[in-house]
Structure 1
Amino acid sequence: MGFAFPFGSLAGSVSSYDFATPTKEIQWLGSVFTGIIFCAIVYRLTAIFSSMLFTGYGKLSSAQKIEWNNRGFSTIHALFASFTSFYLLILSDIFNKDSQEELIVNRSSTFSNSVLGISIGYFLTDLAMILWHFPALGGLEYVLHHGLSMFSIIQSLLSGQAQIYILMVLFSESTTPFVNLRWHLDIAGLKGSKLYIWNGIALFFGWLIARIILFMFFFIHMWTHFDEVREIYPLGFYSLLVVPPVLAMMNVFWFWKIAKGLVKTISKAKHSK
């Protein structure tokens, strides 16, 4: 059965098997607004602390300062999402095979719902900034990535289904701090530093693990639990078959660019010695 929910027409397509209650709806909306407020606060704090701690910050252009601050809350969300996803997937017993009789695709908790809600708030804020300053903060590939991410997370939050797979994808945000640090070092004129090289190496292996190997495990897990995956409501089921492969192809494309950049950086470093 469907349910009414303030997220709009999407909710009418989501089968909830009485998952939603007024209390949960308030919690979900509260989590989304928490994510938005969190981004606004971190954006402002990034500007304040950067102006105090980095002399070069004041010399940046207005556009560069906006992106610098934007990457500040992007980094904090990435740390939040990766640590909470790791806890829910590995350390907690929510998705432990023998912890409960509920199908693994139907498992969720108040904490996992809050994590998804906060991430929706982040993606909404970041997407709004990307569109407002388009294409300065990212091109169409970022719009596609954020759009698909929000579409999937909202469905999972409203239905309480497939959260194990959403959290796997959220864990891949663990590579974002390395991406942002590379940008910060570049804009600060430290592209030739050892930190830039080591960060590039960390980004390469981090991306390989979190966005290539993890996605391979993702698809293997889906295949081995396909009898449970088929129990997901229709829109969620077909989204699970379409969205992750699209994200995986984007990850492979970006990994190829990261690998090329790393080889180029290391080659320059060797020639400069």
Structure 2
Amino acid sequence: MTDLARPKADLRRTAERYRSEPEPGVQTRHAFSFAGHYDPRNTHFGALQACNEELLAPGAGFGAHRHRDVELLTWVLEGALAHRDGDGHAGVVRPGMVQHVSAGSGITHTERTVGGADVPVRFVQMWLQPDVFDAPPAYGLRRASPGEGLQLLASGLERDADGEALRLRRSDAALYLVTAGPGQALPDLPQAPYRYAHLTRGSLGYRTLPGPRGQGRSLEPGDSVRITGEAFAAPMAGPEGAELLLWEMHSGLKLGADPS
């Protein structure tokens, strides 16, 4: 369980992730317990149940498989990912685009490199527990706007209902894209009991806590920080700038409901 009374910035390096090859030509790095990797101390953070770094060789991908009652968010870093599901949704996710699959009562889909592509696809996929269950499956795809700053990609919060963000079936969670130029401070980040930051490009420095109590830390691509309270202070982009995905979550996992 996470101790919310004690602010903490829990740094996890990309090399510490569990590794697997679930399909031919597919390499996966898992941030949490997943499939054959199980650690009872590392099953989730807040409402986030998976954050997988995926690398698909040309022609490779995930064959038809099923999900139920889970929100799947996908951010492509390189190449193009083709999605197709049994409810008639199809899309190609490219760099700078975010895809949202709300599995609801159940959905069967495939995820593969685009037919004929001669380059791999690299992406991050995150699984969020919903708080609305057994709903009809839904699909959304949008492109992020260019430029630096804090950009809302997806949200289930009522305050964001009238915006352009993809709508999550989790009423107290939101996903952001955060970017900053070389040597620049990150914009003011949203506050929440649980925040999860995953660096996708560049580098980033920060202090574990504000003031003299904090120690300096740095992030490289693929590294992540699990943040509670006022931890993760004064984040600043490195010499090549920084791009990260940031989760704002106001409650933890609802017990008795597992992703599938």
Q: TM-score, normalised by structure 1?
A: 0.23
Give the number of the structure whose alpha-carbon radius of gyration is greater: 1
Bigger share in helix: 1
- Per the normalisation by structure 2, the TM-score is 0.23
Q: Answer 1 or 2: which has greater strand percent.
A: 2
